[in-house]
């Protein structure tokens, strides 16, 4: 995914591009905005541009490694459940920050930089924010840290004050409406036709991580809209205000618990895609679980 392909966030993209062009990079960036606004995709495009010898050509080995999430100088950290309880609350714990510190102290393996992306950085718990603050205070050489956050206030002010803040607007362009329509159609088809439709639909995501990410985002926003409709929110609060009637009808087929599980599922899928689970497999899991959840 290159910068050119990121839609609806011209200011965020411009800010990062200028940093790349001038070579004046901050040690840490906080990408702040609602889920689905393109924060993670942008973080990874930024990483690709930093790690590629040609500034993110999209064709070289380095860019291919970033696209497959296998570049040794790109570290994507996501919240995980406790080791002893796979069903427990997902968090970024102190052990993960220690591991980040250890990796950040090493020289880059291939590129001129090391990039660390902390997805859902607000989920740092216990001593993790304090330990992370120490890393920010003594930034390791040739290292760029990127925090993905829903709101600026979601981490301690001491952490945020050491990051350059990049704001993301909620995305309401034509593309996201189209993505949402695709997600709704796909779900309806998988629900009606079962496993055969699932495999057929998932095929197109075989090698297309960006498209898989967009589908998962769209499913996520779809569940969010259903949850809002179910809670009696006025249509103007829906991401898809124009489709309010349809959303209300669809919402009747769901329980609140089912929708909360759906949202959690999309969040996990998004993080799986940010590391290196196969896009197709991730899409299959999301579609089959969501299709069953509403049945
Ligand atoms: Zn390249």
Does the pLDDT at position 167 exceed 80? yes
Q: What is the pLDDT, as a whole number, of residue 274?
A: 83
Instruction: Indicate the average pLDDT of the chain.
Output: 89
Domains of the chain: 3-167 (3.40.50.300), 174-293 (1.20.272)
Instruction: Express each pLDDT in 169-181 by its tens digit.
Output: 877 656 677 778 7
- For ligand 1, the distance from its centroid to the CA atom of residue 176, given in whole angstroms, is 28
How many whole angstroms from 150 Cα to the centroid of ligand 1? 30
- Separation of CA 51 and ligand 1 centre (Å): 8
pLDDT tens, position by position, 273-286: 888 778 899 999 99
Query: Tell me: the pLDDT tens digits for 91-131?
Result: 999 999 999 999 999 999 999 999 999 999 999 999 999 99
pLDDT at 278: 86
Which three-class secondary structure string do you get for the chain? CCHHHCCCCHHHHHHHHHHHHHCCCCCEEEEECCCCCCHHHHHHHHHHHHHCCCCCCCCCHHHHHHHCCCCCCEEEECCECCCCCCCCCCEECHHHHHHHHHHHHCCCCCCCCEEEEECCHHHECCCHHHHHHHHHHCCCCCEEEEEEECCHHHCCHHHHCCCEEEECCCCCCHHHHHHHHHHHHHHHHHHHHCHHHHHHHHHCCCCCHHHHHHHHHHHHHHHHHHHHHHCCCCHHHCCCHHHHHHHHHHHCCCCHHHHHHHHHHHHHHHHHHHCCCCHHHHHHHHHHHHHHHCC
pTM score of the predicted model: 0.73
Percent of residues, the chain, with pLDDT higher than 90: 55
Ligand 1 center to 68 CA (angstroms): 13
């Amino acid at each position: 995914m290159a910068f050119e392909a990121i839609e609806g966030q011209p200011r965020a993209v411009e800010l990062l591009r200028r940093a790349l062009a001038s070579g004046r990079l901050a040690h840490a960036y906080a990408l702040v905005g609602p889920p689905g606004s393109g924060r993670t995709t942008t973080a990874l495009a930024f990483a690709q541009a930093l790690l590629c010898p040609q500034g993110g050509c999209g064709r070289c080995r380095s860019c291919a490694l970033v696209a497959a999430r296998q570049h040794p100088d790109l570290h994507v950290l996501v919240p995980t459940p406790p080791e002893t309880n796979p069903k427990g609350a997902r968090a970024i714990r102190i052990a993960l920050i220690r591991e980040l510190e250890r990796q950040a102290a090493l020289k880059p393996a291939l590129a001129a930089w090391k990039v660390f992306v902390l997805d859902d950085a607000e989920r740092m718990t216990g001593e993790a924010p304090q330990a992370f603050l120490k890393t920010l205070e003594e930034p390791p050489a040739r290292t760029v840290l990127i925090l993905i956050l829903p709101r600026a206030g979601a981490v301690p002010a001491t952490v945020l004050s050491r990051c350059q803040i990049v704001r993301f607007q909620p995305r309401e362009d034509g593309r996201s409406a189209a993505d949402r329509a695709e997600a709704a159609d796909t779900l309806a088809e998988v629900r009606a036709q079962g496993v055969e439709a699932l495999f057929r639909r998932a095929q197109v995501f075989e090698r297309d991580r960006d498209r898989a990410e967009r589908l998962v985002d769209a499913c996520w926003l779809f569940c969010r809209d259903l949850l809002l409709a179910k809670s009696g929110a006025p249509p103007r609060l829906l991401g898809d205000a124009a489709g309010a009637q349809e959303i209300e009808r669809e919402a009747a087929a769901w329980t609140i618990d089912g929708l909360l599980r759906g949202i959690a599922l999309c969040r996990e899928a998004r993080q799986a895609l940010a590391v290196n689970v196969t896009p197709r497999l991730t899409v299959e899991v999301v579609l089959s679980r969501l299709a069953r959840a509403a049945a």
